[in-house]
Amino acid sequence: MTVYSKLPDTELTTLLKDGDQHAFTEIYNRHWKLIYAHVYKMLRDEDDAKDVVQEVFGNLWLRAASIKSTANVSGLLYIAARNKVFDLIGKNKVRADYIGEIASFISDSSNAQVDTIDEKRILEILEREIQKLPPKMREIFELSRKDYLSHKEIATKLNISEQTVKKQVQNALKMIKPKLNDMGISIAFLLLLR
């Protein structure tokens, strides 16, 4: 008889791929507290955190056959949990002030299982923040940061003073930068700066 609690994650993952329910139960028992703690840290809501963890483990079981034998199950769970939290944010089910908690989870150097920041989602969040700017400010900001026009070129194009352009860009940065800093998105912010 196999003693599942003594098996390493790699063996449990192989058994899970073959539909072994006991292996799944051991993986769940071994990892749910840590995944829940990280999700709760990001969301600060017990019910939402429990829902995310339930969905993460449910998907693990449903997709067990497609898991690579060499997969790090702990890493898969972390990434799946992180993506579910991003989904909640994307659907506006979580207040924007929780974004900072995601940053600490993603950038936590002790969390070796989380490989890279999901750049596409960060850029979506960044674009959403740009879209929240007042229309004229957004236009000037996008001409500066997306079309790479100088303040002088923007002033000429829009028939306004260079000082107005400079002030609008500074104001846009003041509005966007704290939100990015809350998320720990220095990389994405560097894309905005020249």
* Boundaries of every domain in the chain: 1-92, 98-193
Radius of gyration of the chain (CA): 22
**Does the predicted model carry a pTM greater than 0.85?**
no
pLDDT exceeds cutoff 60 at 119: no
Which CATH number applies to 98-193?
1.10.10.10
Binning the chain into helix, strand and coil, the percentages to the nearest 5 are 75, 0, 25
Q: Mean of the pLDDT values across residues 7-32?
A: 92
pLDDT tens figures, 41-91: 887 788 888 989 999 999 999 999 888 877 788 888 988 898 888 777 666
Output 153 or 174, whichever has higher pLDDT. Answer: 153
- Stretch among 5-9, 66-70, 131-135 having the lowest mean pLDDT: 66-70
Higher pLDDT, 102 or 160: 160
Stronger pLDDT, 142 or 181, i.e. the higher one: 142
The CATH code for residues 1-92 is: 1.10.1740.10
CA triple 138-142-147, angle to 5 deg: 160
Q: Which residue has the tokens 């690579």?
A: 68
Do 72 and 113 meet the contact criterion of CB atoms below 8 Å apart? yes
Higher pLDDT among residues 158 and 85, named by residue? 158
| Predicted pLDDT at 21 | 93
Does this chain's domain 1-92 share its CATH topology with 98-193?
no
- Using N-to-C axis directions, what is the helix angle for 73-90 and 46-62, rounded to 10°? 130
